[in-house]
């Protein structure tokens, strides 16, 4: 019985980096004008987690990188600043926003 309980507890362990990466991805996708997150030229921009990855978000101990594709009809700088402010407020880490592409 105690073995089953230990497995249940292990399943409930929260992965703070993974949860943070997923939360940041949801925040960024909700910014008006964000078409999608971008994984970089070779898909290297991601938070790698056991069995999954969050593409377009790279979380390190000292910073967060966010790579996005924006709609062509939004102000690029203002949208990047909005992303920066939201992610910084959520993580309290320095944030680097990269606009990888503009969607037509």
Q: CB neighbours (10 Å) of residue 96?
A: 13
**Domains of the chain, each with CATH number or no CATH:** 15-103 (3.30.70.1350)
pLDDT value of position 67 = 98
Cα distances from 25 to residues 6, 8, 54, 55, 83, in angstroms, run: 31, 28, 8, 9, 10
Report d(CA 35, CA 63) in Å as an integer.
Answer: 23
How confident is the model over 16-43, as pLDDT tens digits? 666 789 999 999 999 999 999 999 999 9
pLDDT value of position 82 = 98
pLDDT value of position 57 = 97
């Amino acid at each position: 019985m105690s073995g089953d309980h230990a497995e249940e507890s292990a399943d409930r362990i929260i992965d703070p980096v993974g949860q943070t990466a997923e939360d940041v991805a949801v925040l960024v996708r909700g910014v008006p004008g964000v078409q999608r997150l971008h994984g970089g030229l070779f898909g290297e921009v991601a938070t790698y987690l056991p069995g999954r990855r969050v593409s377009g978000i790279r979380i390190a101990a000292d910073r967060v990188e966010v790579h996005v594709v924006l709609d062509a009809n939004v102000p690029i700088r203002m949208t990047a600043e909005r992303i920066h402010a939201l992610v910084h407020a959520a993580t309290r880490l320095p944030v680097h926003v990269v606009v990888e592409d503009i969607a037509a």
